[in-house]
Amino acid sequence: MATVTVFVHSLDTRSERRFDLAAPLHKIKVRSIARLDYSTLFGCAADRVALAAQERIEIITGIPSSSQQIGLYRTEEDTQPLCILDNDERPLGFYGVVDWQVLKVGFTGNLMTEDTDSCHRGCA
């Protein structure tokens, strides 16, 4: 399993993470609940890498996978992305991601999906 170490940035977070280059982008983006067992907790280094990969971008940034726009940057200071990771079916390695690059995650949707006024109407 080939992995890459990258920095994941969003408006509110900055984190260093390792991801499997063969994993499709949709699996990296979505929330994933890791199944823990003794072999994972006390196993070899590969098991620990697999556990770290369970910390998906949605969990890191708080941005739902359907609202993520991910750009690949050489450094944190770059303002122009090398590319936009826009095909969820492609593996992360397709985009040429290498160690220590930056994945900047933007929010493309609207968090306010319900009428918040109606939540307060019954409180008067």
Domains of the chain with bracketed CATH: 3-111 (3.10.20.90)
CA 36 from centre of chain = 20
Task: Give the residue with greater pLDDT, 73 vs 118.
Answer: 73
- The H or E element containing residue 72 is strand 68-73
For residue 84, is pLDDT > 60? yes
Question: What is residue 21's predicted lDDT score, i.e. its pLDDT?
Answer: 95
HSE-up (13 A, CA, CB side) for residue 123: 5
CA 19 from centre of chain = 9
For residue 13, is pLDDT > 80? yes
